Structure 1
Amino acid sequence: MSRIDIAPPAQDHAATFAALGDPTRLSLLGRLSGGQAQSIAKLSTDTRLTRQAITKHLHVLEGAGLVSSLRVGRETQFAYRPEPIEAARSYLDEVSAQWDAAFARLKAFVEK
């Protein structure tokens, strides 16, 4: 049985997709996507999650490059970074175009 090698671009985006695979992290990104950096205290308002749980999710997002953190006094502010999402979207657009081309070839072959 042969092993399938994953192309480097797919590996590059794996952390982004993994981080986005959790509803809490998606919600946090949605709250941060407005452009304003927010503290853990502010992000934990209107949620049942503890600050510790929010912190763990933010660290996963930061590890994937989706947010950045900056220490401001006694608080850490987190800000959304759109570059990984834009890169993943470009990658998905490329994959979609490849599939569209493959389906077009299949359709042409079947309709002969």
Structure 2
Amino acid sequence: MLAALADPTRWHVLQLLAEQGEQTATRLAGSLPVSRPAVIKHLITLQQHELVSSRRLGREVLYSANPSRLIETAQWMSAVATTWQASLLRLKALAEGTG
């Protein structure tokens, strides 16, 4: 999941979908410095991690951001950060001899 979000182009694709709503790969490619096939590869990766969903409308495939998955990921990252913060505070107290 984090690897999918770490790529700048995938992050930009996700931002475009979140801000502008449902779009085709062709339309997304028009807003990015990469080709349509490259955008499709990024969309597939995002879809594998359930960050993006798609639906067929005639001959086109429309992609949209999956806000619930983004919220779930943000909550998980917040919990990890809280755990690390507590661990670092304990380590600091031990290092300073106050713990």
TM-score range, shorter chain: 0.7 to 0.9
1:103, 1:57 → 2: CA distance?
A: 36
Partner of residue 12, structure 1: none
2:32, 2:86 → 1: CA distance?
A: 45
Match of 1:37 among 14, 22, 40: 22
RMSD: 1.7
Instruction: In structure 1, list runs of 5 or more residues that go unmatched.
Output: 1-15
**1:16-55 equivalence runs, <5 A:** 16-34=1-19, 36-55=21-40
Report how far residue 35 of structure 1 moved. Answer: 5.5
2:67, 2:37 → 1: CA distance?
A: 24
- Decide which moves more: 26-35 or 98-107: 98-107
Percent sequence identity is 34
Residues 1:46 and 1:100: Cα distance change in structure 2 (over 3 Å):
closer
TM-score for the superposition, normalised by structure 2: 0.84
Partner of residue 54, structure 2: 69
- The answer to whether the aligner puts 1:78 opposite 2:63 as a matched pair is yes
SS state at 2:30 partner: coil
SS state at 2:32 partner: coil
TM-score for the superposition, normalised by structure 1: 0.76
Report how far residue 84 of structure 1 moved. Answer: 2.3
1:47, 1:108 → 2: CA distance?
A: 48
Residues 1:102 and 1:25: Cα distance change in structure 2 (over 3 Å):
same
Instruction: In structure 2, list runs of 5 or more residues that go unmatched.
Output: none
Partner of residue 99, structure 1: 84
2:28, 2:76 → 1: CA distance?
A: 30
SS state at 1:47 partner: coil
Report how far residue 79 of structure 1 moved. Answer: 0.4
